[in-house]
Structure 1
Amino acid sequence: MNDEALYGVHPVKEALAAGRRRVYCVYAAKSRTGKAVDEIIAMARKQGVPVEPLETGIVRDPGANHQGVAALVSSFPASELEDVLASGPKPGKSPFFLVLDGIEDPQNLGALIRTALCAGVDAVISPDRNCAPLSPSVSKASSGALEHSTVCRVKNLVRALSQMKDAGFWIFGADARAGINYWDCDFSVPTVVVVGGEGRGIRPLVARECDQLVKIPQAGPLGSLNASVAGALLMYEVVRQRQQAVQKRE
C-alpha cells in the first residue's frame, strides 16, 4: 500500500478518529493556531503519532487548501464487495448501497461519499477504472466522511451488480430518459441506487443490469443535474420512504 498526504482539518481529524489508516505523522503549520488544529495535535499525541512542522512539499497538490494541517497516512483501505455482502444486513435495517458509474471528478465523488454516509448508505461501490481514485482530494471533498465509509472498488461493475441481485438487492438506475419518477419507486426493499458520471450518465451495459430505471424530473434548458446533486436526491428519497414507513408502524 502506498503512503499519501491527507490535508485539511476534517480529513486529518477523521482519519485519527476512525483509526482505519495508519497515521505516521501529523504536520501542523506554526502560523496556524486555533481549536481545530489544537484538537488534532492532542489526538495525535494521545495516539503516539509524532507531530512535526508543516513544510512546503509535504502536500503534493499545489492547489490544496491544507488549512494548516496535514498527515502522512497509509492509502485508504477499500473493502471487498464479497466481504460486505457476506456480512449481511444490519439488524432491523434493509440494506442500502450506492453504485457510482464513471464519477471522474474528485469533488463529485467526495460529495457523494459524504451524502452517502449521512444518509446511512451501507456501502459505496465504484469501478477501478473510469472513476476518480480514493485520493486525499476526495477525502477533502468529503469533509472527512471517506475515513468512516465502506467503499468497494470492483474490476467489473456489471458483474458486481449481478452479485448484488443474487444477494437479494433491487437495482435502481438514474436515467433522464426513464419513464418513472424516482419518488414513485418502492425503496423499502434491499436497494442499490446507481448514479452515472457527469455528462454521459450510466453506461448501457450497466443500465441493462438495473431492475428499474428512474428519472429526476426537471424544468429548464439544462440537460441534467450535477451527479452529486442527483445522487443526493435519490439517496434521501430512500431515507424519506423508510422513515415514513417506520412512523406508520409506530
Structure 2
Amino acid sequence: MAFQKKSTNNYQSKKNIIVGRNPVIEALKEGVNIDKILIFKNASGEAIQTIRNQAKKLSIPVQPVPQEKLYSLTNINHQGVIAFKSAVTYQDLQQVVDLIVGNGEVPQLLMLDGVTDVRNIGGIARSALCTGTQAIIIPDKGVGALGEDAVKSSAGALEQIHICRVSSLLNAVELLQLNGISIFTSEMNGEKKLYELDLTLPCCFVMGSEDNGVQSYISKAANDRYQIPMVGNFDSLNVSVAAGITLYEAMKQRMQQTAG
C-alpha cells in the first residue's frame, strides 16, 4: 500500500479540533478518532460528566486546563471543552493480536513508555513498518500526540501500522504474556545483550523515554531486560535509533530462520 499524502495544516488548526460540549459528545458517539480532550478545570454539569465518562470508556485522555489555554486555541465559544482529532485510528490490543495470529504471523510488537517527542515517534514508526512490526502500543497519557506532525514525521507509516492505545501499560504487558508474547525491555543495564535474545519467538519490545527509561514496574514484569552493546563511554542512544537497532536485529533473526 502506497503512503498517502496528508495535509500539512498545523495540528491545532480548526479542521483538527472539535469545539463545544455537544459537538464533542456527538463526536464521541459517532466514533470519531480523538487524541485528547481539554476541559476547563472548573467546568461542571451533565454534559461535562458525559464527556468524562465516555472518554474514560474509550481510553481517551482528559486534561483539565485554565480558560486561557482554551482561548488560545479557538475564538469560538468553546463552553469549556475542546477535543483534538487524532490522525490515526486506535485499535483494541487483543483484537490486533488475534488478527496477527489469525493471519499466520509471529507477533512482533513495540510498546512506547514515556516517549513524547513526535519526531522520535515518527521515526520509530518508520522503522517498525520496515521491519515487519505489526503494532505499536501506547498509553493514553504520557506519550506524544499522534497528530499531523507525527504522521508527517513517520512518512505515513503511522497510518499503515496498527496503533493500540491502552489505559494501563502494565495491564497490556499482562495481556500479551497471557497470549504467549514475551516482553523485552530496553535498558542501559540489561542482563542480556540484544543479540542474545531469541527474537524469532512472539515478542514485544518496550522502549522508554530518554530521560527516565522504562518504568520500574514494567521492567519488573518483563520476561527479559536487554542492552544494546556500545563502544566508548557515551551515555545512551536516541530512543528512535535504539528502536531501529532492536527491530532490525529481530528482522535479521527471523530472516535467517526462514533462510535456514
Query: What is the aligned counterpart of 2:113 among 101, 108, 111?
Result: 101
1:194 matched to which residue of 2? 206
- What's the % identity of the aligned pairs? 31
- Deviations, residues 70-115 of structure 1 (Å, cap 9, x unaligned): xxx8742111112212324254431111111110000001100111
For 1:208, the equivalent position in structure 2 comes to 220
Partner of 2:140: 128
Correspondent of 1:170 among 169, 177, 182: 182
Alignment of 1:238 with 2:239, yes or no, is no
Q: Which runs of 5+ in 1 are unaligned?
A: 9-20, 23-72
Say yes or no: does 1:150 pair with 2:162.
yes
Preserved contact between residue 195 and residue 249 of structure 2 (Cα < 8 Å)? yes
Identify the residue that residue 153 of structure 2 maps to in structure 1: 141
Rounded to whole Å, the distance in 2 between the matches of 1:155 and 1:142 is: 24
Deviations 1:147-185 (A, max 9, x none): 111111111001101000001101111011012100011
Q: Is the 2:88–2:163 contact (alpha carbons within 8 Å) kept by the matching residues of 1?
A: no
Alignment of 1:209-228 (within 5 A): 209-228=221-240
CA contact (8 A) 2:100 2:134 kept: no
Contact persistence 1:102–1:130 (CA under 8 A): yes
SS of residue in 2 equivalent to 1:238: helix
Give the distance between the partners of 1:129 and 1:74, measured in 2 at CA.
14
Partner of 2:7: 6
| 1:84 aligned residue | 96
Structure 2 residue runs without a partner (length 5+)? 1-5, 10-31, 34-84
State the TM-score, normalized to the length of structure 1.
0.69
Instruction: For 1:7, give the aligned amino acid.
Output: T
> Is the alpha carbon distance of 1:74 and 1:188 closer, same or farther for their aligned partners in structure 2, counting shifts above 3 Å?
closer
**RMSD of aligned Cα (Å):** 2.3
Total equivalences in the alignment: 184
CA contact (8 A) 1:171 1:212 kept: yes
C-alpha separation between the residues in 2 aligned to 1:148 and 1:203?
Answer: 28
C-alpha contact (below 8 Å) 1:199/1:224 kept by paired residues: no
TM, length-normalised to structure 2 = 0.66
- Mean Cα deviation higher: 83-92 or 217-226: 83-92
Q: How does 1:17-32 map to 2 (within 5 A)?
A: none
Alignment-mate amino acid for residue 100 of structure 1: L
